[in-house]
């Protein structure tokens, strides 16, 4: 199934609380446990872009408003 949307996560704003990963219904987000941002925190990233349905659950839950959501136009 082609992607209905995708998200961009500002890794410098992300604190790695994992709330977006937990609330993603299609499990397309993941926490990067091998790399850290400049604050020394793990950050979330979109691991599987094909699964994103642009439901905005991640951006609704994100405490630090680090997530921008894009939806396919047609």
Q: Measured between alpha carbons, how far is 12 from 15 in angstroms, rounded to an integer?
A: 8
The residue among 34 and 40 lying less far from other proteins, judged by its C-beta, is 40
C-alpha–C-alpha distance, residues 49 and 61, integer Å: 19
Closest approach of other proteins to the CB of residue 59, in Å: 4
CB of 45 to other proteins, least distance (A): 16
50: contact with other proteins by CB under 8 A: no
Minimum distance of other proteins from residue 28's CB (angstroms): 15
Q: How far apart are CA 34 and CA 7, in angstroms?
A: 21
């Amino acid at each position: 199934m082609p992607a209905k949307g995708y998200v961009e996560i500002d890794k410098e704003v992300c604190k790695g609380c994992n709330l977006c990963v937990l609330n993603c219904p299609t499990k397309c987000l993941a926490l990067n446990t091998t790399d850290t941002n400049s604050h020394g925190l793990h950050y979330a990233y979109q691991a599987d872009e094909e699964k994103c349905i642009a439901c905005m659950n991640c951006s609704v839950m994100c405490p630090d408003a680090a997530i921008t959501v894009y939806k396919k136009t047609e």
